[in-house]
Chain A
Amino acid sequence: MPASNTLTLTILADLTDAQIAEAARAAGEPEWMIERREVAWRFFSESLPPIWKRTDLSKFQSENIAVPLGPQGTLVQWDAKLAEQGVIYTTLAAALRDHEALVKQYIGTAIDPLGHKFNALHAALWQDGIFLYVPKNVAVELPLQAIFTLADGSHSTFPHNLIIAERGASVTFVEEFASLDSEQQILASPATEIFVGDNAKVRFVSAQTWGKGVYHIGAQRARLGRDGAIEWIGLNLGGQVQHIEAEATLEGNGSRVDWVAATFADGTQSLLTAPMVRHIGTNAESHLNFKTVVDDSGYSTFDGMVKIDHSGQGTNSRLEEHAIHLSSASRSDSIPGLQIDANDVKAGHASTSGQIEEEQLFYMLSRGIKREEAIHMIVTGFFEPVLDRIPLEDLRERAAVLVEAKI
């Protein structure tokens, strides 16, 4: 962490590649990174926004966004004893100074910095985020947690998390994005790249609990080696608009993703999650179970895809998504996709959507439970299998309170 905070704020519309390079140089970043930022910024400036049918950015006034440049002081807390085992847990900015070769080896190799306009914006402007490195065969028992919020006065944040679990390692990483409600529009554009080595295990919790006013445009991708496994838990509760593109790439034979998510859109929220599983290795497994609740005029989209390459023989995949509608004005779209180019695969899909079943309500009412409480219990119960997997009690409770307040 630099002693002097070099944070400066510039309006996005006024920003130039020269300013970005200057801030990066002031922070002591290596030339290759500065160059990448400039390339990304030019891509951002010159490219058209992606066409997203289900993510409405028409009300977003990007030109007024105040952008922070330079390190922002991600707070890192952990058991320093882990360092004795070779574990590195620090900010990405610090890692760029102290572990440059490792960062260079991995950063941008899971998420294409020039994938689309917003990926490029992130790649040009990222500050801090977490660098987590777990060496071969080291098991980190306690979850490592990072909470991201907004720097004072800024209207945007671009954290980049780089998680590397070497062969046989295991670790839990929890990222949470939280803020107070804001009158001003906020742009949050985080990216998390996860590398699961052969036989390694990663549990990844991503909790989006922003306050009102936040536009969250996120990218996440995990790449898995042979017999690697990731347990992926998503919570999508806050913000105004969410657009998360996420991918688990099962490159290694016998690798596995177990992916659950809870999404609750109420008020005028519009929350989209686009999870993609790509089966490349043989005998890999993917299990997805996404739960969605919409209320008021809330809108949620599940845009999921399981893609099995011709090499993905012996794949076992199951995709489930379930949605509950609590109001007539709320909407949820489910667009499950399955693309199979191998012949020896098992791939299942199940989906439900609708109001709370009258039979469930009647059963609970018949025991004396009031209708309103019955609805609360059913919705909480609907999310329970997801919340139950959150390894941190305080986050689990906070999520439960947030869900309760939305019903």
Chain B
Amino acid sequence: MNTDLVIKDLHVNVEDKEILKGLNLTVKPGTIHAIMGPNGSGKSTLAYTLMGHPSYTVTGGEVWYKDQNVLELEADERSKLGLFLAFQYPVAIPGVTVANFLRSALNAHRAEQGKDAKSTSIPVAQFRKELRGNMAALEIDDSFVRRYLNEGFSGGEKKRIEILQMAMLKPSMAIMDETDSGLDIDALRIVSEGVNTLYGQQPEMGVLVITHYQRLLNYIKPHVVSVLMDGRVVREGGAELALELEERGYDFIREEVLSNASK
């Protein structure tokens, strides 16, 4: 089984406008892979497309993971395959508590065809223990268990709850869409530690960290950095590429790309 996430020549439209224009990318298991790019380069489009958001229309290319044609799968099937998206803007689900939501999600993952849902569902005591443990690590107050998911949560609280979901579902390939946006330094530290802890526990996990700024990468150290510009990956390097971008901005790459194109 090929456990690389392989994206080949991906073209994606949003409302008839082409955003991704032949994107190629391979994310290896056990790798923290940062995608950096200026606003409008297609970073969030990539994240949503990988997870199967219905507003993003794939007009060409392929995505493969664990020998599955990902683009043919519904979002819930992608989740069960091991993909996870930490949303930039998590959605509120009024009336559904954090605990109920997580239990439903976990049980959906544990469900097996032909087996009674009760026989595969997570035992209550085990669920509580895991939930409390992960919440404590992410410094989330106990009261959140009974609160409606993301309803009235601050930006920082929402991001922590995203990481909580990630810690509970234990994906093999996590995509983090601008998780650093809107976070203060404390929240950034807690969220990053959460990701690092999970990565430490399951070192075979791939993490695709999508970010505009280098700041997050001080906390979550990438092995590979890819630069996205105008819907394509235009540069790939190690952690030092992120630092160079921080120092010089995106313009120098844009100029390189333009001069290469004109050659």
Contact = CB atoms under 8 A, between A and B. Distances in A.
A and B associate in one complex: yes
B54 A362 contact: yes
Interface stretch (A61-69, A191-199, A214-222, A363-371): A363-371
Contacts of B100: 377
B74 A381 contact: no
Interface in A123-159: none
Interface in A342-384: 357-360, 362-371, 373, 377-378, 380-384
B94 A381 contact: yes
A86 interface: no
Contacts of B54: 358, 362
16 contacts: A358-B54, A358-B55, A359-B91, A360-B93, A362-B51, A362-B75, A363-B93, A364-B93, A366-B52, A367-B105, A368-B79, A377-B93, A377-B100, A378-B96, A381-B96, A383-B95
Nearest to A364: B93
Nearest to B168: A367
Contacts of B132: none
A377 B85 contact: no
Given A362-B53, A365-B79, A381-B148, A371 B74 contact: yes
A370 B52 CA distance: 14
Nearest to A365: B75
Interface of A: 357-360, 362-371, 373, 377-378, 380-385
Given A373-B104, A377-B96, A381-B96, A365 B74 contact: yes
B165 interface: yes
B61 interface: no
What 6 pairs across the A-B complex have the smallest Cβ distances? A381-B95, A384-B95, A365-B75, A368-B79, A367-B105, A381-B96
A383 B53 CA distance: 26
A366 B51 contact: yes
A232 B24 CA distance: 59
Given A367-B108, A373-B104, A373-B108, A382 B94 contact: yes
B95 A380 contact: yes
A377 B96 CA distance: 7
Contacts of B101: 364, 367, 377
Interface in B24-39: none
A57 to B, nearest CB: 34
B79 A366 contact: yes
Contacts of A377: 93, 96, 100-101, 104
Interface string B68-94: 000000111011100011010011111
Interface majority SS on A: helix, strand, loop or mixed? helix
Contacts of A365: 52, 74-76, 79
A366 B95 CA distance: 19
A378 B169 contact: no
A385 B94 CA distance: 9
A367 B79 CA distance: 6
A3 B55 CA distance: 69
Given A358-B55, A363-B93, A370 B85 contact: no
Contacts of A367: 76, 79, 101, 105, 108, 165, 169
Given A369-B108, A382-B94, 16 more contacts: A360-B91, A362-B52, A362-B53, A363-B91, A364-B101, A366-B75, A366-B79, A367-B76, A367-B105, A367-B108, A370-B76, A373-B108, A377-B104, A378-B95, A384-B96, A385-B94
B109 interface: yes
Contacts of B92: 360
A373 B74 CA distance: 14
Contacts of B76: 365-371
Contacts of B104: 369, 373, 377
A257 to B, nearest CB: 23
Contacts of A362: 51-54, 75, 91
Contacts of A373: 104, 108
B74 to A, nearest CB: 7
Nearest to A387: B95
Contacts of B80: 368
With most chain B CB atoms within 10 A of its CB, the pick from A359, A367, A373 is A367
A357 B94 CA distance: 12
A370 B108 contact: yes
Interface in B85-130: 85, 87, 90-96, 100-101, 104-105, 108-109
Contacts of B93: 360, 363-364, 377-378, 381
Contact of B87 (A363, A371, A384): A363
Contacts of B75: 362, 365-366
